[in-house]
């Protein structure tokens, strides 16, 4: 895939004197990447208009806020991916802490349900009180099941999602970095060839001026040799530019492909986390429902508490006599 077309031919390039170069450039190269010149920039259509896609907005390098260098746009995308992985891991750790709280809470509820306080309460109120204590054991079981489901359905999937992600991102980073290094190497070759061409053109121009001053066969031979060297230098420059453009096209293609893949991975990560957080809220709703069911028997018994009936039962069991005292007779 060619990003831009070369203009001119090697013969014209090699024969062109430094003073006859174009005054206005159509491109500008920044950190070995060639962009349209701001003064002559043609309108560029986004690859994925209206989508704010990664493949459209990370071509240039950005000043490193922590140093004097720059950070490649692709490196920012990788940092975003690795940060996402870290956030996912921290969410898993957060859920793990939630599980510990549930387990400790269940343990304390179960322990409290065995407490003997007020165990001697009698009658319908005593039955209701016993059910209150039993409901704690039932609630403890609910919370244990909730913590187990949190582990299997939320914490574990969050922790294990893309276990080899960092390794995969490292490979991806090395691949794009290698292409960028190759591009930098090609650019260095272009600059070296450009410098060589400038020297050959200057030499040709100097010998041409000497010929105008003094005609000699030796000078004419020198001019022919200088012209051949200048033409060769022009050919070398065109070859280096072509190799540079090939390297930049390869980098461009891989950038588009890889940034779109990173975009897909980020969407997938967010959706995965959303789904598991939805599962968390669903489990919470279920836990609330089950907790409610543990107190329903308590409510039923509390509605049946009858102080009068309790008094009757207690009196029947503990009465000492129903003959009342009377006045003493003389």
pLDDT digits (tens, 9 = 90+) for 263-278: 999 999 999 999 999 9
Distance CA 33, CA 62 (A): 13
What confidence tens digit (pLDDT) does each residue in 79-96 have? 999 999 999 999 999 999
Q: Evaluate if residue 18 carries a pLDDT over 80.
A: no
Query: Residue 71: CB partners within 8 Å, gap ≥ 6?
Result: 61, 62, 63, 64
Residue 24 parent element (H or E): none
- Radius of gyration over every alpha carbon of the chain, rounded to an integer in angstroms: 42
- The mean pLDDT of the chain is 89
Confidence tier at 216 by pLDDT (50, 70, 90):
low
Q: How far, CA to CA in Å, does 159 sit from each of 92, 147, 170, 208, 328?
A: 6, 16, 19, 75, 89
Tell how many helices (H) and how many strands (E) occur in the chain: 8, 4
Quick one: tokens of 328?
């003493």
Helices (H), 5-72: 10-15, 54-57
What confidence tens digit (pLDDT) does each residue in 242-262 have? 999 999 999 999 999 999 999
Residue 321 confidence (pLDDT): 92
Q: Write out the DSSP string of 316-328.
A: HHH----PPP-PP
Residue 208 confidence (pLDDT): 81
Upper half-sphere CA count for residue 113 (Cβ side, 13 Å): 18
Could you tell me how far CA 304 lies from the centroid of its own chain? 58
Strands (E), the chain: 27-30, 33-36, 62-63, 70-71
* 329: DSSP letter: P
State the CB neighbour count (10 A cutoff) for residue 324.
5
Domains of the chain, start order: 87-305 (1.20.1270.60)
Nearest 5 degrees, angle CA 145-CA 151-CA 154?
A: 115
Residue 234 confidence (pLDDT): 95
What confidence tens digit (pLDDT) does each residue in 217-247 have? 567 788 888 899 999 999 999 999 999 999 9
* 155: DSSP letter: I
pTM of the model: 0.80
**Which residue matches tokens 């809220």?**
281
Q: Which residue in 75, 54, 52, 53 sits closest to 63, CA to CA?
A: 75
Distance CA 195, CA 171 (A): 36
Contact 75, 98 (CB under 8 A): no
Quick one: tokens of 118?
């007020």
Residue 17 confidence (pLDDT): 42
Q: How far, CA to CA in Å, does 48 sit from each of 56, 231, 264, 265?
A: 7, 43, 14, 17
The stretch 97-114 carries a mean pLDDT of 97
Residue 223 confidence (pLDDT): 83
At 112 the three-state DSSP class reads: helix
Distance CA 73, CA 85 (A): 19
Confidence tier at 44 by pLDDT (50, 70, 90):
confident
The stretch 25-39 carries a mean pLDDT of 90
């Amino acid at each position: 895939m060619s990003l831009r077309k070369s203009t001119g031919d090697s013969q014209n390039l090699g024969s062109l004197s430094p003073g006859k170069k174009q005054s206005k450039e159509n491109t500008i190269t920044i950190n070995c990447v060639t962009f349209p010149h701001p003064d002559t920039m043609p309108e560029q259509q986004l690859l994925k208009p209206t989508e704010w896609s990664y493949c459209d907005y990370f071509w240039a390098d950005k000043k490193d806020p922590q140093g004097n260098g720059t950070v490649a746009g692709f490196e920012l995308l990788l940092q975003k991916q690795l940060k996402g992985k870290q956030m996912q891991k921290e969410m898993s750790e957060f859920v793990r802490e939630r599980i510990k709280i549930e387990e400790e809470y269940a343990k304390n509820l179960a322990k409290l349900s065995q407490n003997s306080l007020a165990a001697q309460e009698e009658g319908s109120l005593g039955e209701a009180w016993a059910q209150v204590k039993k409901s704690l054991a039932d609630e403890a079981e609910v919370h244990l099941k909730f913590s187990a489901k949190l582990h299997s359905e939320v914490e574990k999937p969050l922790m294990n999602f893309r276990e080899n992600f960092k390794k995969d991102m490292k490979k991806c980073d090395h691949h794009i970095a290698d292409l960028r290094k190759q591009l930098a190497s090609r650019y260095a070759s272009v600059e070296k060839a450009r410098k060589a061409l400038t020297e050959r053109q200057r030499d040709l121009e100097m010998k041409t001026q000497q010929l105008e001053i003094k005609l000699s066969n030796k000078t004419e031979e020198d001019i022919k040799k200088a012209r051949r060297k200048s033409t060769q230098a022009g050919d070398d420059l065109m070859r280096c530019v072509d190799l540079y453009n090939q390297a930049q096209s390869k980098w461009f293609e891989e950038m588009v492909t890889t940034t779109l893949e990173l975009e897909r991975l980020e969407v997938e990560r967010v959706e995965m986390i959303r789904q598991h957080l939805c599962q968390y809220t669903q489990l919470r709703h279920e836990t609330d429902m089950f907790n409610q069911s543990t107190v329903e028997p308590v409510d039923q018994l509390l509605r049946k508490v009858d102080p009068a009936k309790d008094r009757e039962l207690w009196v029947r069991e503990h009465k000492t006599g129903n003959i009342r005292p009377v006045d003493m007779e003389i």
